[in-house]
A = this chain, B = another copy of it.
Amino acid sequence: MFKTLRIGEVAKATGIKVVTLRYYEQLGLVPGPARTDGNYRAYNQEDLHRLRFIRRCRDLGFSLDQVRGLLRLSSKRCQKCSEVDRITRRHLTDVEEKISDLKRLANVLRRIISRCRGDGLIADCRIIEALSPGVSPADRI
Residues of B within 8 A of A138 (CB): none
Residues of B within 8 A of A131 (CB): 53, 56-57, 60, 70, 74
- Distance from A134 Cβ to chain B, minimum over Cβ atoms (Å): 9
| A99 CB-CB contact with B under 8 Å | yes
Interface of chain A residues 95 through 140 with chain B (CB within 8 A): 95-96, 98-99, 102-103, 105-106, 108-110, 112-113, 116, 118-125, 127-128, 131-133, 135
- Residues of A in contact (CB 8 Å), total 53
Q: Are A127 and B56 in contact (CB under 8 A)?
A: no
Give CA–CA (A72, B78) in the complex, Å.
Answer: 61
Q: Are B95 and A109 in contact (CB under 8 A)?
A: yes
A95-B106, A99-B99, A106-B96 given; A121·B81 CB < 8 A: yes
Q: In the assembly, how many copies of this chain are there?
A: 2
Query: Which residue on B lies nearest to A54, using beta carbons?
Result: B131
Q: Are B88 and A121 in contact (CB under 8 A)?
A: no
Give CA–CA (A77, B109) in the complex, Å.
Answer: 21
- Distance from A81 Cβ to chain B, minimum over Cβ atoms (Å): 4
Residues of B within 8 A of A85 (CB): 113, 116, 118, 127
